[in-house]
Structure 1
Amino acid sequence: MSNDSLESWSTLNASWEDIGAENGTDLSPKDGFDYELSPYLIANILISVSILLFSIFGVMGNGTVTWFLVFCMRRNPFTIFILHLAVADLGALMSLSSFLIMKVLSSFSDTITNLHLLSVFECSFFFMYNTGQYLLTAISMDRCVSVVFPLWHRCHQPPHFSTLVCASIWIISFLLTVNGMVLLIFTVTRYPFFYLLLVNAMLCLPLMTVSTLVLFIKVYFRSKQRKKGKALTAILLALLFFLFLAFPLTCVLLICFFTPLINNNVESVTISVALLCSCLNCSINPLIYFLIGRNKRARSRESMKVILRRLFKEEENCREKREVPVQTRM
């Protein structure tokens, strides 16, 4: 794989040197730091710093959720989905942070190793990013079925349905990412992830939008005598934030694929903003769990472990209460 093919392929890899060159400034380290920074370069630097800062909190939050669900709580079909989603968000944040760090380092060294590492981190980010989309789509559909057809959902769901769905999603996402990497290696197309992004926009977006709308109607417009579940409210908020923060990256990249390049600087900043939105989406789920699961009447501060246990235990208790009448009738 040639050096030029790597540079031309990477949609996210709009180098800061190109921004400086287009504005008449040379950003090579040999000229020292005596150059005028363009507004586009400053915007990219500020956005990259913001992504790294938010990634730190996101990695801590998703790491805490992952550790708690693996070691501190008995898993159920609902928490299995949440566990895999936290792992996907954690991987996406770590890949994006590594990509940005290598991006800065590659600005001072044009070695082929840096370009290969950039491609590896970018492929890893797309893998985790798409896995998160598929997992949240599966979660939204599962919650939608559980609310619309509760009896069918608890009586006809296979014992290890959640595990099988999550494993299938990881395998499918991995195969699609490998397919993109093969297209990259053999330079079959300039945009190897184009079809993957198109599938996300045509499949995940409609399914998630319909499921979110159904959940919103069933939860907030049903009888006031029935208590709204905190876990379902947390999923609703996660879906809404996902629609507003995660899908813009897919839309921006698809627009860049379909429209000719008018201004590389504007495109680079737009993609950076979309990456920032994706970073916020991957980091916000633990905050949603914390805010929804905490006891507002408690005077003392509660640990994250207690809050997560209350949030996810409620879903397990509700499931057990629904299964008792079915077993009694039998």
Structure 2
Amino acid sequence: MSNDGLGSWSPGNASWEDIGAENGTDLLIPEDDFDHELSTYRIADILIPIFILLISIFGIIGNGTVIWFLGFCMKRNPFTTFILHLAVADLGALLSFSSLSIMRILTLFPFLPFYIYLFAVFNNLLLFMYNTGQYLLTAISMDRCVSVIFPLWHRCHRPPHFSTLVCATIWIISFLLTAINCIFSIFNILQNTILFHFLMNAILCLPLMTVSTLVLFIKVYFRSQLRKKGKALAAILLALLFFLFLAFPLTCISLILLFTPLIAFNVGSVAISVGLLCSCLNSSINPLIYFLIGRNKRAQSRESMKVILERLFKEEENCREKREVSVETRM
């Protein structure tokens, strides 16, 4: 079996042709080497899905809480619209991670039934949510960067429903890319179509997010006014930093394995597993960031997540209102 990067967890005795996976869409399809002697690689291949499942459970709870409060209990603004859609994408990715991890664990027991096409469904769902999360966070980073560099323009000339339109466009583009990948996979039109997804993420998203993160870091931590302005920018900056360190390793590892097929299969399998674990951590960590940044450290009683989110994102709205008053005064 070839080492095709993302196809490192492939099923039982089925070949790549049997499952139509020549394009590498099988992000978490397991490999049946369990009859062989257990090695360090095999132990890691068993433990990592368990860790992914445990992390996904906490992440699902956290992102579900954020979606509930931002979607149904709080008044939305352009900034929280981005955060809400990002939480939905992270929740979808974590549901895919957990489902695939459960199926991966079940395949360790040969007497249990195995459904190959379920892996294909959740693999493509994971690809859809993974790409959507990257594009949303790229849009958020650019939006925050513009709001810091050009605050007056951002407040006065930004279309009122800009955030909603951007989020809808991102969901549509990500869905179309995933649908094209599925069609190519079913009809075996072109091999390694997933390579184009990761190349686009690496070429387009990575530079934009890196530049935006550097600009936000310089503006927030080297200018006292912005440092005092609120916690929302700090939360986004942390989310961007964790994303760069946790989400992009999967893209980098996959591209390396796709371009270097001579790497040992066990090494590639563990590398992909580690990349998936990092991506799972990234999808789970944002609610924790909101909680730690938004909470009142001086409060003696425990605050609810709703209060923390209101404080965190209310500061952003207050800053926008102050800029509007400042503009009107200058006029």
CA distance in 1, matches of 2:111, 2:125: 21
Does structure 2 retain, via aligned residues, the 8 Å contact 1:16–1:41? no
Q: Which runs of 5+ in 1 are unaligned?
A: 26-35
Residue 5 of structure 1 aligns with which residue?
20
Provide closer, same or farther for how the CA distance between residues 126 and 112 of structure 1 changes in structure 2, counting only shifts above 3 A: farther
Residue 134 of structure 2 aligns with which residue?
133
Does structure 2 retain, via aligned residues, the 8 Å contact 1:14–1:268? no
CA distance in 2, matches of 1:274, 1:287: 21
Residue 118 of structure 2 aligns with which residue?
117
Opposite residue 3 of structure 1, the aligned amino acid is D
Opposite residue 44 of structure 2, the aligned amino acid is A
Residue 272 of structure 2 aligns with which residue?
271
Opposite residue 133 of structure 2, the aligned amino acid is G
CA distance in 2, matches of 1:8, 1:176: 14
Matches within 5 A, 1:182-193: 182-193=183-194
Residue 43 of structure 1 aligns with which residue?
44
Provide closer, same or farther for how the CA distance between residues 181 and 50 of structure 1 changes in structure 2, counting only shifts above 3 A: same
How much does 1:275 deviate? 0.4
Q: TM-score, normalising length from structure 1? A: 0.90
CA distance in 2, matches of 1:184, 1:240: 34
Matches within 5 A, 1:160-175: 160-175=161-176
1:135-170 deviations in whole A, cap 9, x for unaligned?
000000000000000011111100100000000000
Does structure 2 retain, via aligned residues, the 8 Å contact 1:11–1:253? no
CA distance in 2, matches of 1:146, 1:197: 29
Q: Which runs of 5+ in 2 are unaligned?
A: 1-15
1:1-28 deviations in whole A, cap 9, x for unaligned?
962433784453453314x46xxx1xxx
How much does 1:306 deviate? 1.0
How much does 1:190 deviate? 3.1
User: Which one scores higher on RCO, CA 8 angstroms, separation ≥ 6?
Assistant: 2
CA distance in 2, matches of 1:267, 1:226: 43
Opposite residue 305 of structure 1, the aligned amino acid is K
Residue 4 of structure 2 aligns with which residue?
none
Does structure 1 retain, via aligned residues, the 8 Å contact 2:93–2:129? yes
Residue 15 of structure 1 aligns with which residue?
30
1:164-193 deviations in whole A, cap 9, x for unaligned?
000000000000111111110111233221
Does structure 2 retain, via aligned residues, the 8 Å contact 1:16–1:107? no
Opposite residue 18 of structure 2, the aligned amino acid is N
Residue 222 of structure 1 aligns with which residue?
223
Provide closer, same or farther for how the CA distance between residues 203 and 273 of structure 1 changes in structure 2, counting only shifts above 3 A: same
Q: How many correspondences in the alignment? A: 316
Aligned partner of residue 32 in structure 2, secondary structure: helix
Return 137-146 or 179-188, whichever deviates more: 179-188
CA distance in 1, matches of 2:113, 2:208: 41
CA distance in 1, matches of 2:201, 2:287: 24
1:269-293 deviations in whole A, cap 9, x for unaligned?
1100000000000000000000000
Matches within 5 A, 1:1-330: 3-6=18-21, 9-13=24-28, 15-18=30-33, 20=34, 25=36, 36-108=37-109, 114-223=115-224, 227-328=228-329
Q: TM-score, normalising length from structure 2? A: 0.90
RMSD in angstroms over aligned alpha carbons? 2.1
How much does 1:210 deviate? 0.3
Does structure 1 retain, via aligned residues, the 8 Å contact 2:229–2:319? no
Does structure 1 retain, via aligned residues, the 8 Å contact 2:23–2:190? no
CA distance in 2, matches of 1:121, 1:168: 23
Opposite residue 100 of structure 2, the aligned amino acid is F
Identity %: 70
CA distance in 1, matches of 2:284, 2:183: 30
